[in-house]
Structure 1
C-alpha cells in the first residue's frame, strides 16, 4: 500500500515552476525586485524568503506524506506572489513591447490552475 496517489500533472507543474523560480529567487534576487509592490517592506528579504518557501513547497509536494501541508502552503505562496505578477502586468501595459504585455498578462490567469493543482495535491 502506498502513502498517496501519484502526483498529478497539474501538481507536477507547480513543482517544476517552484524549483526553477525558487532557485532564481536565491541566485538572482534582483530579477524580482521590479515586481515588488511598493507597500511590501524589505524587498530583498521577502524575495529570498519566497524562494526558500517555493523550494520547500516543491520538495513537500514530491514527498507523499508531506502533501497535506505542502499543497495548501503552495497555494498560499502562489496567492502571496500574485500582487507581484499583477504589478508586472500593470508595468508592462505602459511599455511599447507587445510581447512583454502578452507574457505579463498571460501569467495572471495561468496561476489559477497552479493554485488548483496545489490544493488537489494536498487532498
Structure 2
C-alpha cells in the first residue's frame, strides 16, 4: 500500500512540475498573451513581469521535479498560484469591460476559482514530499 501511495505522490508531483514547466515555456514562447494580465500599476514593463513569472514557474517546476527540493517547490507553487489570482481577476474584468465574446469571458472567470484546486494540489505535493 505504501508503494502505491509513493507512486501516486511522485506522479502527482511530476504532473504538477510538467504543468508549471509548460506554463513557464509559454510565457517566453507567447508572451503577448500574458502581458495584458499584468497590472499597469506594477513597476517596470509588463514583458519583464511576464518573463519573470515564466522563469519562476520553470524554476518551481524544477524544484518540484527534484525529490530533495520537492517540499519547498510545492510550497512555492502554492504561493505562486495565490499570487496570480489578482491577474486572473483583472483579465476577467477586462474581458467584461471590453465586451469579449461570452465563451472568452466564461473561461476567464472560470480561471479564478480553478486556482484553488491548483493551490491544494501544490500543498499535497509539499505534504507528501
TM-score where L is the length of structure 1: 0.86
User: Relative contact order (alpha carbons < 8 A, sep ≥ 6): 1 or 2 greater?
Assistant: 1
- The answer to whether residue 69 in structure 2 is matched with residue 66 in structure 1 is yes
Residue number in structure 2 paired with 1:28: 30
Q: Quote the offset at 1:24 in angstroms.
A: 1.2
Q: Distance in 1 between matches of 2:108 and 2:11?
A: 26
- Please tell me the root mean square deviation across aligned C-alpha atoms, in Å: 2.0
List structure 1 segments (4+ residues) > 6 angstroms apart after TM superposition: none
More helix by proportion, 1 or 2?
A: 2
Structure number with larger C-alpha Rg: 2
Residue 117 of structure 2 corresponds to residue 113 of structure 1: yes
Q: Contact 1:75–1:115 at 8 Å: present in 2 too?
A: yes
Q: For the residues of structure 2 that align with 1:117 and 1:29, how far apart are their CA atoms?
A: 26
TM-score (norm 2): 0.82
Counterpart pick for 1:122 among 108, 121, 126: 126
3-state DSSP of counterpart to 2:23 = helix
Question: Which of 79, 82, 87 is equivalent to 1:79?
Answer: 82
CA–CA distance in structure 1, aligned partners of residues 91 and 10 of structure 2? 31
Equivalent in the alignment of 1:37: 39
| Bigger shift: residues 24-33 or 67-76 | 24-33
> Unaligned stretches of 5+ in structure 1?
none
Aligned runs of 1:41-52 on 2, under 5 Å?
41-42=43-44, 43-52=46-55
